[in-house]
Structure 1
Amino acid sequence: MPALKINVHFGGGAELLFDKIKKREVELPAVDKYLPECEKKGWTIRELLVWIKENLLRERPELFLQGESVRPGILVLINDTDWELYGELDYELQPSDTITFISTLHGG
C-alpha cells in the first residue's frame, strides 16, 4: 500500500504537547515499510498513535498516551464522529481522513 495522507487535529489543550500546532496534514509511509512485521495492508489508529508518538509528540507523552491507546480524557474523533462507532484502535485509516484528538482534562 502506498503512503497515506490524512489530517490530524489537536484541541482542548492537547496541541500544547505538539508544538502548539492544532492542525496538520501528515503523510504516513507505506505501512509495510514503517512496520515490516505488520501483516495488515493499511494503517490503523493503533499504528497511527505509535507514529504520532515517534514523530509529532514533543513533550510529556504520559499526558497523551496510556499503554497503546490515548489516555482517559482524550476524545478521539474520526471525521467528526466518535471513534467508538468505528472500532477505536482497529479502525483502518482512509485517504483524507481527519483524526481529531481533544483533551477534556483541565487543571483547577
Structure 2
Amino acid sequence: MAAPIAIQLEFGGGAELLFDGLKKHHVTLPTQTEPWDVKQLLVWIQRNLLKERPELFVQGDSVRPGILVLINDADWELMGELDYQLQDHDNVVFISTLHGG
C-alpha cells in the first residue's frame, strides 16, 4: 500500500476561478494500492476540488489544450505527463494560457 501523500496544487492564469478563486490548495491524497499518478490526480481534482465548468479544465483523460502544467517547476512534458508518479511534497501548477474576450 502506498502511504497518503501531501502535495500542493496551484491554479493560475484564470484557472483558479474554477476552484472558488483559490490559487493554492494543500491536499493529502488518500492511501491507495498503486502509486498516485497525474492521470489519477486529475480525476481526484474533478471529484473533490473543481467547482464549476469542468470542460474548461479537462478534456478526456487530460487537461484541456491551453493549460500549462508544471511539476516542481518543470514542464510536465519532461516528467512523463499523465504517467508521472506523484511524490510526497510535490508542487503541481496548472496555468491557463487561454483568455476570454
Shorter-normalised TM range: over 0.9
* Displacement after TM superposition at 1:31 (Å): 2.2
TM-score by length of 2: 0.97
Q: Aligned match of 2:78 in 76, 82, 85? A: 85
Q: Distance in 2 between matches of 1:75 and 1:106?
A: 13
Indicate the residue corresponding to 1:70 in structure 2: 63
Q: Provide runs of 4+ in structure 1 moved above 3 Å.
A: none
Unpaired segments ≥5 residues, structure 2: none
Q: Aligned match of 1:105 in 93, 98, 101? A: 98
Indicate the residue corresponding to 1:31 in structure 2: 32
What is the aligned-residue RMSD (CA, Å)? 0.6
Q: What secondary structure sits across from 2:25 in the alignment?
A: strand
1:83-106 CA deviation, whole Å, 9 max, x = no partner? 000110000000000000000000
TM-score by length of 1: 0.91
* Displacement after TM superposition at 1:2 (Å): 1.2
Q: What secondary structure sits across from 2:68 in the alignment?
A: strand
